[in-house]
Amino acid sequence: MQICFATNNKGKLQEIKTLLDRNFTIKSLQEVGCNEELPETRTTIEGNSLQKAEFVWRKYNVNCFADDTGLEIEALNGEPGVYSARYAGPDCNPEDNMVLILEKMKEKENRKAQFRTCITLILNGVVHQFEGIVKGEILYQKRGEHGFGYDPIFKPEGHEKSFAEMNMEEKNSISHRAKAVEALVKFLKP
């Protein structure tokens, strides 16, 4: 069975290919003829992953799935959430986003946060959604050099290291994205 992973992230594409056996051929967007920017204008993580998958399904008529992730901080009423990529403004980088979060969290005692990934699969026109969550806390300052995005300021529950202090293998064994992908893979090959 051929399924398109609606992402422009080569790392994510490679990761999923290693998790599925030969019964599934994962196609990139380019391989199904899609070279355009995917829309991502909804106000929820579920909505954005659905919007991206629907776009590819409708326009290119292929089975597909898309993911969307956000960091949800309890003391900030779930922010940055669906706005995680551009929390500090349209042209911001991950550093700007972390500086803003650390500033907003300066006086907060409640440090609880979670990363949440939603994957939407559209298989023969039927929508299926899968979720992966990792709970943890926001640190008072950045720690570690690995990873990307908010990894230096997030410490998962039950661990001493921040995500950015873990190597890729350690992070991938507990991460939100890994859990969502695991649920997807279990559904595709029970």
Q: Which residues bind ligand IMP (CB under 6 A)?
A: 68-71, 84-85, 94, 115, 147-151, 163, 175
CB of 72 to ligand IMP, least distance (A): 10
Comparing CB distances to ligand IMP, the nearer of 61 and 83 is 83
Q: Report in angstroms how near the CB of residue 182 gets to ligand IMP at its nearest.
A: 15
Residues 154 and 113: beta-carbon distance below 8 Å:
yes
Question: Residue with CB nearest ligand IMP?
Answer: 149
Exposed (0-12), middle (13-18) or buried (19+): which is 153, by Cβ within 10 Å? buried
Question: What does the DSSP 8-state code read for residue 148?
Answer: S
Residues recognised as catalytic: 68
Instruction: Give me the least distance between CB of 12 and ligand IMP, in Å please.
Output: 8
Q: Strand, coil or helix: what is 138?
A: strand
CB nearer to ligand IMP: give 63 or 114.
Answer: 114
Classify 10 as helix, strand or coil. helix
Residue 139 DSSP class: -
Q: What is the DSSP letter of 150?
A: T
* Amino acid symbol at 43: T
Residue placing its CB nearer to ligand IMP in the complex, 144 or 149: 149
Q: Of 133 and 189, which has the nearer Cβ to ligand IMP?
A: 133
Tell me the CA distances in angstroms from 57 to 60, 66, 129, 169, one per residue in order.
6, 11, 15, 32
User: Cβ of residue 105: shortest distance to ligand IMP, in angstroms?
Assistant: 16
